[in-house]
Amino acid sequence: DAGVIQSPRHEVTEMGQEVTLRCKPISGHDYLFWYRQTMMRGLELLIYFNNNVPIDDSGMPEDRFSAKMPNASFSTLKIQPSEPRDSAVYFCASLAGTTTDTQYFGPGTRLTVL
Amino acid sequence: GENVEQHPSTLSVQEGDSAVIKCTYSDSASNYFPWYKQELGKRPQLIIDIRSNVGEKKDQRIAVTLNKTAKHFSLHITETQPEDSAVYFCAASYNTDKLIFGTGTRLQVFP
């Protein structure tokens, strides 16, 4: 099993540009999570999906952020327009089921907005 | 909603000593409490978890205890080694979906 896959691993962009982060969950996992990690705010849950349907997006910071999961093997997190304060490491995680399993994190995408 | 507090924020120990990290949670409905270890530049990785139907769980040098009445849980690492140096995060949730993380503890183990 390849684990959770994220791309790109590093992204440097200029303020105002659109940024798209990608995630492929572990095959067979029904849940997918997007987290943001910064020194100031720690590890924050942005949004999560169950069977491709968004369940809770209360952590999405503002309308500039959007997430989609068009199928069971792919999700995107988009920031448009990006701002320097969006600089962070963005992790994707997946979970098979809520009763006995746990969340497995991807390697993360380090985003720098200049 | 759930709120998780974690202490201490930093912890330094001598190799071979024990380390204890404590967390408290606010939502009495929470029933799942994982601990993640994050090395510098790496992803958080689960090291141990406990569910509310047990009070203690051990895995070699690592143990977690849970006090549901007081709503706190702790990570115990015995016989620490330099490779235990990392940031440790506790978390709490109802079932395993919406994890709320603590602020992390930076553990340094000195040889």
pLDDT of B56 over the 80 cut? yes
Contact A105 B96 (CB under 8 A): no
Residue A62: predicted pLDDT? 85
pLDDT of A26 over the 90 cut? yes
Residue A13: predicted pLDDT? 97
Residue A41: predicted pLDDT? 87
- The first and second tokens of residue B18, run together, are 């024990």
Contact B99 A108 (CB under 8 A): no
Per DSSP, the three-state class of A110 is strand
Contact B46 A98 (CB under 8 A): no
- Nearest-CA distance B88 → chain A (Å): 12
B34 cis-preceded (ω within 30 degrees of 0): no
Contact B97 A31 (CB under 8 A): yes
CB distance from B2 to chain A under 8 Å? no
Quick one: which of A61, A60, A38 has its CA closest to A49? A60
Mutate to test the interface with B, among A43, A58, A91, A110 (most CBs of B within 10 A): A43
CB distance from B83 to chain A under 8 Å? no
A66 membership: H or E segment, kind and range: strand A65-71
pLDDT of A99 over the 70 cut? no
Task: Give residues with Cβ within 8 angstroms of B20, minimum separation 6.
Answer: B74, B75, B76, B77
Spell out the long-range contacts of A77-81 with Cβ–Cβ below 8 A and sequence spacing 24 or more: A77/A20, A77/A21, A77/A23, A77/A34, A77/A46, A77/A47, A78/A18, A78/A19, A78/A20, A78/A21, A79/A18, A79/A19, A79/A111, A80/A18, A80/A19, A81/A15, A81/A16, A81/A17, A81/A18
Between CA B100 and CA B17 the distance in angstroms is 29
Chains A, B: CB pairs < 8 Å: 46
- Chain A residue whose CA is closest to B96: A98
pLDDT of A101 over the 90 cut? no
CB distance from A89 to chain B under 8 Å? no
Q: What is the mean pLDDT of residues B92-109?
A: 91
* pLDDT-based confidence at residue A27 (cuts at 50, 70, 90): very high
- Lowest model confidence (mean pLDDT) among A55-59, A66-70, B32-36, B52-56: B52-56
